[in-house]
Amino acid sequence: MAIKSRSKLDSITTPVGIAKYPWVNTPSTKFVEGGEYSCSLVLTKEEGEVIVKQLKPIFEEAILEKSEELGKKAKSYELPIQLEGDSYILKAKLKPVNGISKKTGSTYTRSIGLFDSKGNPWDKETIVRGGSKVRLNVRPKTWYTSLLGVGLSLDLLAVQVIELSEGEFTEQAADSFGFTAVEGGYVNGGETLDQALDAEEEEDTLTADF
């Protein structure tokens, strides 16, 4: 349930980061009935802290509002951007929703905007894979449930692809998992770490009904 006074907020455009598990061409139906667009973004510690500072006042106001309504301190859920090692991981998602336009009366399906580095519409047949350099446009949305308390999520409104990865994790993306190469260690089938991770991603993609 959205908190009414904070249900419509200004959007935020992130710095350029590394896409992690992007589902931006089509919505994934693996875990959500009806599908869901999503993308996690790996940011530097400095970049992530800027976004946290933008979100905290919104979150704190929502907690205060709900606490006043309940007559007690409302519990809260974690923000959708968390520090993992030396990087921040931001998570954004959007469920496609069918609706009817108030202006035209025609039906529509809510989806995300997808653009190239020049701001041109993206060819959606070109898959945006993990390791691509992207920036996101997201809108904060506060909500409340009795189980989790007050929460804040980020609706994924648009993605701008700055540098497309051909399905291979870059060194920076691999570092975001906390993995680095260890000399003399076991190499799976003669593959490098990037190749092994890439094979996992390719397997997921082939079963995702793109």
**Domains and their CATH numbers in the chain:** 4-206 (2.40.50.140)
* The token pair that represents 80 in the structure block: 């959708």
Let me know the angle formed at the C-alpha of 194 by 188 and 199, rounded to the nearest 5 degrees: 70
Q: By C-alpha distance, which of 37, 19, 17, 21 is closest to 29?
A: 37
- Per-residue pLDDT of the chain (210 residues), as tens digits, is 555 444 478 999 999 999 999 999 999 988 888 899 999 999 999 999 999 999 999 999 999 999 999 999 999 999 999 999 999 999 999 998 776 667 787 776 778 999 999 999 998 789 999 999 999 999 999 999 999 999 999 999 999 999 999 764 444 444 444 445 555 454 444 444 444 444 443 333 333 332
Q: By C-alpha distance, which of 98, 125, 138, 150 is closest to 26?
A: 125
Gyration radius from the chain CA atoms = 19
Instruction: Judge if pTM exceeds 0.75.
Output: no
**Contact present, 150 and 76 (Cβ < 8 Å):** yes
Q: Please give the Cα distance from 26 to 136 (Å, whole number).
A: 16
Query: Which amino acid is residue 170, in one-letter code?
Result: T
**Contact present, 32 and 95 (Cβ < 8 Å):** yes
**Contact present, 135 and 15 (Cβ < 8 Å):** yes
**Contact present, 179 and 172 (Cβ < 8 Å):** no
